[in-house]
Structure 1
Amino acid sequence: MNDLTSQEAIRRMVQRWLPSYPVPAHRLHIHTDTSDFYNVDYNDVVILGQRPYLIRHNAKEGRFGLEDEVKFWVKSAVDLSNGHRKIIKLVFYERFMSHIGDIEFECFRSPKKEARILELVAGHKNFMHGHAIKDEKDNIIRILDFISGKTLAHHIGSIAMDHETYFYQQFPDIFNRFIECVEAIRFLHEHGERHGDIRRDHILIDRQTATYRWIDFDFNYRHRENIYGYDLFGLGNVLVYLAGKGDVLIPDLRGNAHPWLDIIDESDLNIVFRNRVVNLRKLYPYIPESLNRILLHFSRGSNRFYDHARQILCDLEQVRWDS
């Protein structure tokens, strides 16, 4: 351990960048091997590339009712070399099967893939930024710049107005910013890469620039026919959510004995999430047909699907023109 990463040097850096932070009286736990991410805890220090990072807390899952589920491999940290906030993603492998209709995808986490994409999108405004580095055991660690802002899902959920008012007053700007996100995914696809986990909570709205930025692209998947299909399905889900100002769920309609139930049939539902309505024009007739045709690509009644992000992007651009 050199002078910059000694106990004394680290304590001085903590006092400089975090003057109100209570430096532990005990000897700091310093990690150069992050293989056991459960062992990297609050107040510990991780040394990566001769730079010390003070661990503050673990991240939490923000997906579909799992908000309290701790992601022990994702750490909020402070770079003690300059005081900047960082997100540190340690190596965690998982694998599972997923389906879109009758099509099966093998999904798995790939730190190497995320490291590769971070290098590809450096400087691109619609992605998170950072770099990858190996610890002493050759684990591929991703050090990410902290983005101040809330998720797109949180933003949509916080808009307090009826759907029609939202659609005319708020949605056009949201839609145009979403097109930028689709263009960013096209950029990945043109370079033979995939996001791998496209969700509405994986778009952060940068508080400083109001830019929509993709995060978390360590998932990868395998499928022989269409290598971009899983990404495209994710884009469709996000678009339906934005156009509908949230998901229109069959259980909610049944619970309220809503008259919409009389006009919805199986073909109007999401091809995978069969409790979600995709054919929104049936419910909101002011939604343009050009937009609704895009939504229907992701319905159970569709026999036409997108193969590449440039296809959905082309259709989206036509809707923007119509607007």
Structure 2
Amino acid sequence: MSEDVRGLVERYMPEFPVRRCGKVFTDTTQFMDINHGDVIELGGSHYLVLKDESERRFGMEDPKYWVKRCRELETGESKILKLVFFERFPLKVGEFEVQCYRSPKKESRILDMVADDPRFMHGVTRLDEKENPVRVLDIVQGREIGKYVYAIKADHETYFRERFPAILDHFLGACEAIGTLHAKGEKHGDIRRDHLFIEYGSGQYRWIDFDYTFDFHENPYGLDIFGLGNILIYCVGKQVWNAGNLDEGGFSAETLNGLGSGDHSLVIRNRVVNLRKLFPYIPVELNNVLMHFSQQTEVFYDSVEEFLDELRPCRRLLG
């Protein structure tokens, strides 16, 4: 490591042991070689790598070796650097197969597009010496919507009547944000509840992670719409309800025996969508929106606006 970079580390992170400083990388192609203590140089700025980011999936930590938590040495600011990583996989949606893949350039386009929109994460793209588009992201200080909802200390009926209406208000705004992307010909691509954050302080709902995209010929934006539906189902139910935890919900045997395959999700096939069977105080109109994402549906939402046209009137039923 050069003396200039060592000096930056000593100046901005005096608590960081200089002996742990590693190599300076100007080419991020081999991201697996970039580790804690290394420095990534982009356009004259230096980013000290602190750790690899990870996601918690299916109860396990899933490391994302191409996503680095860093400190920008010149400013002292914390940043996330997303390096170039490609993957492709199919996803079944009912009888359809959707091709999903990562597109770093697509994420860069969206970052430029939403630079002044507080409903999305912000960042810039910097090219390394091999022209790899590295996304330098501001960290959204907040909590994932799923964790926020699950942590509310109330029984379901109290939650649904007293807390869910305000959550729905904000969720409607988050859906409108996705509609804005679609109107400009872009997709979020990976809509999940851990990609929608509630920002500390402001309470603003903000979307993160735009590097996935998909080819769904039957409905160009369909996977985004299914993602919104999954978040709505979670928020209405206050959690996921499936075969693994229904016994813990205190439901009667008659209720549980009344659930059939058509009451479950089209995409995540063991997840209950027909929540009115579990919680009969959920309005029929709201439950009908949920049922568009069930195995028994014959009609799919073609656009976010069509989804919102049926969801917005439900708000008035909640008081």
Q: TM-score, normalised by structure 2?
A: 0.95
Match of 2:43 in 1: 49
Match of 1:227 in 2: 220
Do the aligned partners of 2:251 and 2:278 also contact (CA within 8 Å) in 1? no
- 1:24 and 2:58 correspond: no
Q: Which moved more, 1:201-210 or 1:252-261?
A: 252-261
Do the aligned partners of 1:194 and 1:220 also contact (CA within 8 Å) in 2? yes
How many residues were matched structurally? 316
Match of 2:176 in 1: 183
Q: Name which of 102, 105, 109 aligns with 1:112.
A: 105
Aligned pairs for 1:63-82 within 5 A: 63-66=57-60, 68-82=61-75
Do the aligned partners of 1:247 and 1:276 also contact (CA within 8 Å) in 2? yes
Match of 2:191 in 1: 198
Partners of 1:25 and 1:225 lie apart in 2 by 52
After TM superposition, give the deviation of residue 258 of structure 1 in Å: 5.0
4+ runs deviating over 4 angstroms: 254-258
Aligned pairs for 1:168-179 within 5 A: 168-179=161-172
Instruction: Name the aligned partner's letter for residue 270 of structure 2.
Output: N
Q: Which moved more, 1:37-46 or 1:170-179?
A: 170-179
Do the aligned partners of 1:126 and 1:212 also contact (CA within 8 Å) in 2? yes
After TM superposition, give the deviation of residue 254 of structure 1 in Å: 5.5
Seen in structure 2, the aligned counterparts of structure 1 residues 310 and 12 have a Cα distance that, compared at 3 Å, is: same
Match of 1:122 in 2: 115
Q: Name which of 146, 162, 176 aligns with 2:155.
A: 162
- 1:96 and 2:89 correspond: yes
Partners of 1:263 and 1:186 lie apart in 2 by 36
Instruction: Name the aligned partner's letter for residue 184 of structure 2.
Output: H
Aligned pairs for 1:278-317 within 5 A: 278-317=273-312
Match of 1:59 in 2: 53
Q: Name which of 207, 231, 248 aligns with 1:238.
A: 231
Partners of 2:186 and 2:180 lie apart in 1 by 9
Partners of 2:46 and 2:201 lie apart in 1 by 27
Q: Which moved more, 1:154-163 or 1:42-51?
A: 154-163
Partners of 1:207 and 1:14 lie apart in 2 by 29
Do the aligned partners of 2:93 and 2:266 also contact (CA within 8 Å) in 1? yes
After TM superposition, give the deviation of residue 228 of structure 1 in Å: 0.3
Structure 1 spans left out of the alignment, 5+ residues = 1-5
Match of 2:246 in 1: 253
Instruction: Name the aligned partner's letter for residue 202 of structure 1.
Output: H
- 1:218 and 2:173 correspond: no
- 1:321 and 2:316 correspond: yes
Do the aligned partners of 2:216 and 2:223 also contact (CA within 8 Å) in 1? no
Q: Secondary structure at the match of 2:194?
A: helix
Structure 2 spans left out of the alignment, 5+ residues = none
Q: CA RMSD in A?
A: 1.6
Q: Name which of 25, 28, 36 aligns with 1:34.
A: 28
Partners of 1:313 and 1:86 lie apart in 2 by 34
Task: Give per-residue Cα distances to partners, 1:82-122, cap 9 Å, x unaligned.
Answer: 11110000011100000110111000000011011111111
- 1:137 and 2:136 correspond: no
After TM superposition, give the deviation of residue 25 of structure 1 in Å: 6.3
Partners of 1:165 and 1:184 lie apart in 2 by 29
Partners of 1:144 and 1:314 lie apart in 2 by 33
**Identity %, equivalent residues:** 44
After TM superposition, give the deviation of residue 57 of structure 1 in Å: 0.3
Do the aligned partners of 1:148 and 1:208 also contact (CA within 8 Å) in 2? no
Task: Give per-residue Cα distances to partners, 1:232-271, cap 9 Å, x unaligned.
Answer: 1111111000000001112323588852212212211111
Seen in structure 2, the aligned counterparts of structure 1 residues 301 and 32 have a Cα distance that, compared at 3 Å, is: same
After TM superposition, give the deviation of residue 17 of structure 1 in Å: 2.2
Q: TM-score, normalised by structure 1?
A: 0.94
Task: Give per-residue Cα distances to partners, 1:256-312, cap 9 Å, x unaligned.
Answer: 885221221221111121211111112111111221111010011111110111111
Seen in structure 2, the aligned counterparts of structure 1 residues 25 and 252 have a Cα distance that, compared at 3 Å, is: closer
